[in-house]
Each structure stands twice: as structure tokens, then as C-alpha cells.
Amino acid sequence: MPARPKSKSRRILPPDSALRSRARKILTRLARAYPDWGPTLLFSSPLELLVATILAAQAQDERINEVTRVLFTKYRTPADYAAAPKGVLERDIKATGFFNLKAKRLRAMARGLLDEFGGEVPSDMDRLTGLSGVGRKTASIVLGAAFGVPAVAVDRHVERVAQRLRVDRAGPDIEASLRAIYPKKDWIKVTWSFVLHGRRICRPTPLCPICPINDLCPYPKKTKTLSAALRSNQPALPPPVPGRRPR
Ligand code: SF4
């Protein structure tokens, strides 16, 4: 009998009790290790967080916070972004990188808010992702951090951590997997605990010897010594950045 061709599709397994138990321990320890879990972008309204999150693509949050400290004193409403003359908004956000594209996205998003929602940022996934330039990750961040609506946001850190911990196979994608494994009340905490863990310890070259969940992690390529991991040309551990805890 000819050998059956190997399927390229990933097997999706419903979370069993062992996985749920391990996942619960992981989250408990991460939340304890990162008591400052929460968004690291500075904002005082849903609009500010939406703008900051769009600007944060391919950029460090610290840089975005430097830019928005000034930006938010000048642009207070969606109309301010929509009406910003060509070249002016671009200059005001230049330091965030990819500023032409980001300015285009901000104007389109602001026009959408004005045309569809009376200038208010909506508080549900469908309407948020209906805005031009707003994907599920951005919408989930805004929902969780600005409105307290349970949502899992998957950025590159969450993706890397979930894959190494093998908590990414309970659904068709990582967001669905984490939503299946963790109760709704923990979705925001999962997002930010995984983000901070990916930034500080489970980096591209992970600092496994000092990882608080080392014994719960099945990743086969754990680093054995801290010095070897630190030699991997990564910047020093960043200090904790206080963020606004989701309501
Ligand atoms: S043991 Fe290493 S790979 Fe596993 S979660 Fe910790 S830092 Fe990441």
C-alpha cells in the first residue's frame, strides 16, 4: 500500500484538563512575575489608545509614548486627524516610522469614526474592525484596555510565547486557542502577561534559566545558560513600564 501523504494542516486538539491545568499555572505565575501587566502605551481615552496602537506597528512603545505626549495635545478629536493637512500629520508622527502609511491609516480611521459612529470609538469587535486600518489585534487591545471588554490580542510576543508553551493548538489560530483554554475573565490578563513575558524573558533567544515558568514549558530548544542567552546580541532587560491597568 502506498504511503499516505503527510497532511500539511496542523491538528487541532480541544484543550484537555491537563492543558487547562498547565495553562492556569502558567498564567498565575506570569501575573505574579509581572504585577505591572497592562498596556504600556499611554492614553487617556479610547481614541488615544486607538491612535497609539495604530502608530505602534513596527515601533517600540517607548518611542510611541514620546510622540503621543505631544501629538495628543494637538489632536484631540477624530476631526483633528481627518482634517490634518497633507504633510503636517506626517511630520507630527514621523518619529514613529512608516509615517506616510500610518498617517493614511489615521486619517481613514478618523473619517470612519466621523462617518459611521458620530466621532465615538465603538466598543465591539465588529464595528472596530470595520474601520479602515483597524485589524483584530488593534481592536482587541482597544476593547480590553479602553473598555474592559474581554479580548485576546495576539502580537509577535504573544505568538512566540504561546507557540513555545504549546498552548497554541486548541483552535484554528492562536487567538482562538487562548480563548478556548482560558476563561473569558482572564483574556486581558493573558494578553498582557504573555506580552511582557515575551518582551522581558521569552525573547527571540529566550532567557530560560531565569524563566518563572521553565518547569511548565515544553519548548525543546531552551537556553541552558544565562550568559549564552545574553550573548545573543539582545538589549538589556528593560525596566518595568507602568501601564494603565484595564478597567
Ligand atoms: S522556558 Fe524558555 S522558552 Fe519556555 S517560556 Fe520560559 S523563556 Fe520561554
What are the tens digits of pLDDT across the range 74-107? 999 999 999 999 999 999 999 999 999 999 999 9
Can you give the pLDDT at residue 1? 40
- Expressed in angstroms and rounded, the spacing between residue 14 Cα and the centre of ligand 1 is 23
2 is a domain residue: no
- The last residue of one of the domains, among 80, 105, 120, is 120
Exposure pattern of 26-58 as b/e (b: 16+ CB <10 Å)? bbebbbebbeebbbbbbbeebbbbbbbbbbbbe
Q: Which three cell numbers stand for residue 194?
A: 504573555
- Here the CATH number for the domain that contains residue 182 is 1.10.1670.10
Whether 211 and 171 map to the same domain: the answer is: yes
For 228, phi then psi, to 5°, come to -65, -40
169 is a domain residue: yes
Instruction: Kindly state if the Cβ of 198 falls inside 6 Å of ligand 1.
Output: no
Residue 7 per-residue DSSP state: P
Q: Report which secondary-structure segment, H or E, holds 163.
A: helix 156-165
Whether 223 and 176 map to the same domain: the answer is: yes
Whether 159 and 185 map to the same domain: the answer is: yes
Can you give the pLDDT at residue 8? 47
Integer Cα distance of 207 and 224 in angstroms: 9
- Domain hosting residue 91, numbered range: 46-120
Can you give the pLDDT at residue 53? 97
Catalytic positions, written as ranges: 137, 155
Instruction: Kindly state if the Cβ of 211 falls inside 6 Å of ligand 1.
Output: yes
Whether 50 and 30 map to the same domain: the answer is: no
99 is a domain residue: yes
- Expressed in angstroms and rounded, the spacing between residue 128 Cα and the centre of ligand 1 is 33
CB 26 within 8 A of CB 214: no
Whether 167 and 109 map to the same domain: the answer is: no
141 is a domain residue: no
Can you give the pLDDT at residue 57? 93
CB 105 within 8 A of CB 132: yes
- The last residue of one of the domains, among 78, 102, 120, is 120
111 is a domain residue: yes
For 30, phi then psi, to 5°, come to -65, -40
What total number of domains does the chain contain? 2
Integer Cα distance of 22 and 167 in angstroms: 9
Pocket test residue of 222, 223, 225, 226 for ligand 1, highest count of atoms within 8 A of CB: 222
Whether 158 and 226 map to the same domain: the answer is: yes
Exposure pattern of 131-158 as b/e (b: 16+ CB <10 Å)? bebbebbbbbbbbbbbbebbbbbbbebb
Distant-in-sequence, close-in-space partners of 22: CB < 8 Å, separation ≥ 6:
167, 216
Integer Cα distance of 27 and 158 in angstroms: 13
224 is a domain residue: yes
Whether 56 and 30 map to the same domain: the answer is: no
- Here the CATH number for the domain that contains residue 63 is 1.10.340.30
- Expressed in angstroms and rounded, the spacing between residue 215 Cα and the centre of ligand 1 is 9
Whether 188 and 223 map to the same domain: the answer is: yes
108 is a domain residue: yes
User: For ligand 1, atom 8, which residue shows the shortest CA distance?
Assistant: 202
Which regions in the chain score pLDDT beneath 70?
1-14, 233-247
Distance (Å) of CA 52 to CA 30, 39, 139, 204, 214: 25, 11, 12, 25, 33
SS3 55: helix
147 is a domain residue: no
CA 218 to ligand 1: nearest atom: 4
Whether 29 and 50 map to the same domain: the answer is: no
- Expressed in angstroms and rounded, the spacing between residue 5 Cα and the centre of ligand 1 is 33
